Structure 1
Amino acid sequence: MMGTRGTALGWTLVRVAFGLLLALLHGLPKATGDMNRFAEGVATIGFPFPLFFAWCAVLSELVGGLLVAVGLFTRPAAAMAAFTMMVAIYRNRANPFERMELALLYLAVMVAVLLIGAGPYSLDARVRRRP
């Protein structure tokens, strides 16, 4: 687990910041925007049922990001978000590195969440402590 209180607080800050940013700056605008247009982009990379997979991506960013932020079902939520970031990296493979940079950063943090877990300051930890 986490060695010091400072390490645990630092990890919590990273987890909350990246989870909220993913949810509020990426998932929410897509969920409240033109899903058909987003689905067209999903179709261009070869996904069948593009509207369905567009919603999967949006929910992994919105709901997954919120779950990572509060630390509930953290590892499954991070796995979904990480997969979505891998698709985003693939989608932008022909574009300059700057287009992939944000997805790479989110992917790195979500993989770290998968490896480390939510930490002691999370709803997952609180649920585990219940008798």
Structure 2
Amino acid sequence: MMGSRGATLGWTVVRVVFGLTLALLHGLPKVTGGMGRFAEGVAALGFPYPTFFAWCAALAELLGGLLLALGLFTRPAAAFATFTMVVALYRHRADPFARMELALLYFSVLFAAMLIGAGPYSLDSKVRHRA
């Protein structure tokens, strides 16, 4: 995957930090009490069954972020969270760049994780080498 120890360690830090911040600062608040307001926002985007899709997005952020940080089921977790960020970018499409910047950053890292995988410092790597 990665050529140098520095690149491997650097990717691990990015993966863990982005995963934990996505889970703890975005997914967890929605799941533990912010779902009503979030579902209203999902409804305003025109989604059918807005509560269902709000829960899907919140769990993609919470569980996807935790799995990304652990490096477990990294590619599928990143794929679900990447899709959530695509919707967030759509939601902020007419906003100033500073408003959409966070969704763009999360999208970029999640998309990279989907393509690259977790790397050698991950639970995915440990599981793969045990089999």
Tell me the TM-score normalised to structure 1 length: 0.97
What is aligned with 2:98?
98
User: SS state of the match for residue 121, structure 1?
Assistant: coil
Aligned alpha-carbon RMSD (Å): 0.8
What does residue range 1-131 of structure 1 map to in structure 2 within 5 Å? 1-131=1-131
Segments of 5+ residues of structure 2 without an aligned counterpart are: none
Q: Higher mean Cα deviation, 74-83 or 88-97?
A: 88-97
CA distance in 1, matches of 2:73, 2:93: 30
| Structure 1 position 50, deviation (Å) | 0.2
CA distance in 1, matches of 2:34, 2:86: 22
CA distance in 2, matches of 1:129, 1:25: 32
CA distance in 1, matches of 2:94, 2:43: 16
CA distance in 2, matches of 1:47, 1:98: 25
Tell me the TM-score normalised to structure 2 length: 0.97
Segments of 5+ residues of structure 1 without an aligned counterpart are: none
| Structure 1 position 34, deviation (Å) | 3.0
User: SS state of the match for residue 94, structure 2?
Assistant: coil
| Structure 1 position 57, deviation (Å) | 0.4
- Write out per-residue CA displacement over residues 34-74 of structure 1, whole angstroms, 9 at most, x where no aligned residue: 31211010000010000000000000000000000000000
Percent identity for Structure 1 against Structure 2: 73
Q: Give 4+ residue runs of structure 1 displaced > 6 Å after superposition.
A: none
Q: Higher mean Cα deviation, 54-63 or 33-42?
A: 33-42
User: SS state of the match for residue 118, structure 1?
Assistant: coil
| Structure 1 position 115, deviation (Å) | 1.2
Q: State the AA in 2 paired with 1:29.
A: P
CA distance in 1, matches of 2:36, 2:5: 46
| Structure 1 position 95, deviation (Å) | 1.5
- Write out per-residue CA displacement over residues 2-43 of structure 1, whole angstroms, 9 at most, x where no aligned residue: 111111111100000000010011001111123121101000
